[in-house]
């Protein structure tokens, strides 16, 4: 048989025979494994959303944090204003001592605190006002002048060194209301004006 005919017969014989079952099965398994591996390496991109309970928990935590921050900030602001109040009282105390030094015998204080008593003679640049409590005592610090016994009101009314020299105002109390009712320096007995407004008080007296 010529070589060409032999080649042709062999080729036809291979094409007519069915593909071996074992090879088909292995090929199918390989294809399935490839697809499974592909699925595992590319998980679904759909993400699970938050549940209602999870959202409520997150909202509650945020609300608690906001409350803590606001409370802390508010307390810090109160302490800062109370610190200024004490500074204001110290400034007034120095001005009152300057007034006293210009009276006869350097022994009398004004019966009231006003511009005529302290600002005009340049004992202080201006009368300080409470930084926020404008409705308590008109925003003014509480000043009470007394006779030498520290309890009796002094007379007559005097807001100049000349008038004071003829009066009997020899002691005083100067008070500021404090927003921080837990202040370590607050008065043991709260001033009635501050107490009525719901505040603590801080008082200084003449040296």
**pLDDT digits 0-9 by tens, 56-79:** 888 888 888 888 777 766 688 999
Number of domains comprising the chain: 1
User: Which 8-state DSSP code applies to residue 153?
Assistant: B
What pLDDT, on the 0 to 100 scale, is given for residue 79? 94
Q: Is residue 67 part of a domain?
A: no
Q: Is residue 44 part of a domain?
A: no
Q: Is residue 33 part of a domain?
A: no
What pLDDT, on the 0 to 100 scale, is given for residue 118? 98
**Angle at the Cα of 162 (from 159 to 165), degrees rounded to 5?**
95
What is the extent of the structural domain holding 148? 74-205
204 pairs with which residues across the strands? 174
Per run of 10 residues, the mean pLDDT along the chain (length 207 residues) is: 52 53 49 54 59 86 83 82 97 98 96 97 97 95 96 91 94 97 96 97 96
Q: Is residue 46 part of a domain?
A: no
Q: Is residue 164 part of a domain?
A: yes
Containing H/E element for 204?
strand 200-205
Q: Is residue 58 part of a domain?
A: no
Digit-coded pLDDT (tens) for 91-119:
999 999 999 999 999 999 999 999 999 99
Q: Is residue 1 part of a domain?
A: no
Q: Is residue 6 part of a domain?
A: no
Q: Give pTM, 2 decimals.
A: 0.68
């Amino acid at each position: 048989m010529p070589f060409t005919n032999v080649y042709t017969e062999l080729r036809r014989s291979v094409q007519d025979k069915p593909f071996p079952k074992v090879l088909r099965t292995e090929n199918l398994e390989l294809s399935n494994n490839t697809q499974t591996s592909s699925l595992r390496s590319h998980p679904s991109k759909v993400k699970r959303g938050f549940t209602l309970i999870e959202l409520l928990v997150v909202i509650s935590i945020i609300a608690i944090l906001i409350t803590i921050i606001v409370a802390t900030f508010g307390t810090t602001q109160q302490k800062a204003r109370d610190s200024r109040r004490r500074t204001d009282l110290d400034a007034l105390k120095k001005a009152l001592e300057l007034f006293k030094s210009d009276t006869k015998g350097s022994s009398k204080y004004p019966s009231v605190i006003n511009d005529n008593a302290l600002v005009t003679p340049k004992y202080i640049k201006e009368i300080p006002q409470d930084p926020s409590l404008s409705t308590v005592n008109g925003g003014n610090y509480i000043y009470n002048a007394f006779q030498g016994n520290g309890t009796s009101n002094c007379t007559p009314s005097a807001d100049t060194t000349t008038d004071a020299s003829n009066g009997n105002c020899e002691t005083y109390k100067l008070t500021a209301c404090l927003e921080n009712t837990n202040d370590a320096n607050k008065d043991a007995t709260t001033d009635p004006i501050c107490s009525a407004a719901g505040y603590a008080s801080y008082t200084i007296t003449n040296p």
